[in-house]
Amino acid sequence: MFKSMYNWIDERLDITPMWRDVADHEVPEHVNPAHHFSAFVYCFGGLTFFITVIQILSGMFLTMYYTPDIINAYASVDYLQHKVAFGVIVRGMHHWGASLVIVMMFLHTLRVFFTGSYKAPREMNWVVGMAIFGVMLGLGFTGYLLPWDNKAYFATQVGIKIAASVPFVGGYIQTLLQGGEVVGAVTLTRFFAIHVFFLPAVLLALLAGHFIMIRKQGISGPL
């Protein structure tokens, strides 16, 4: 059945050349763990992307039950946690994945730095990678408030005050994030919108650029 469906699509869109171009792409020997044990450090980027995909899929599931207002936010999370089948597992994956993706991205960044992979002709990819790192931190920060419990509320207050201390633009950042005089209903709505719509759109665009440059420039070699 799958083969028939593939052939039906291939007859109309001619996807086989595109698929073969991806599947037959050669991988350098130095990133093959079967030949070099040190090649495992070149897997950090792929693992980071894998965790990112899990975060996106689990986040899509969570939004089916989450209510982004201060009256129902905590109750919706509690309902998901205790009433929805496998809800506690999916939320746990999203919760711990948010921390794990930062750890893996940090390890990937260290590998790129210490192997000199940020040098010509890959300077732009390094800049894009740093932008992805920043977006990931933003996703972690904006997602932390969404359960709307005491820890999330006061931690977000601290984070916004730190952002407000940025010279010249701190006040504008605080207004953008907080949306009012105090952390409240507007803040939660803005954090939800930034977390679910704005930052993921930027992330997907940056990831596309990141992978296109990797494909054109190839995987960097060891020093």
Would you state the structure tokens that stand for residue 156, as one six-digit string? 């977000």
Distance of alpha carbon 48 from alpha carbon 106, whole angstroms: 9
Instruction: Give the residue extent of every domain in the chain.
Output: 29-217
Distance of alpha carbon 72 from alpha carbon 78, whole angstroms: 10
What b-and-e string marks burial along 27-48, b requiring 16 or more CB atoms within 10 Å of the CB? eeeebeeeeeeebebbbbbebb
Alpha carbon of 144 to those of 68, 89, 130, 166, 188: distances in Å?
A: 13, 18, 21, 21, 10
pLDDT tens across the length of the chain (223 residues): 788 898 899 888 888 888 888 778 777 777 776 666 677 888 899 999 999 999 999 999 999 999 999 999 999 999 999 999 999 999 999 999 999 999 999 999 999 999 899 998 999 999 999 999 999 999 999 999 999 999 999 999 999 999 999 999 999 999 999 998 899 999 999 999 999 999 999 999 999 999 999 988 888 877 6
CATH topology of domain 29-217: Cytochrome Bc1 Complex; Chain C (1.20.810)
Q: Which amino acid is residue 133, in one-letter code? A: F
What pTM does this model have?
0.91
Distance of alpha carbon 201 from alpha carbon 56, whole angstroms: 11
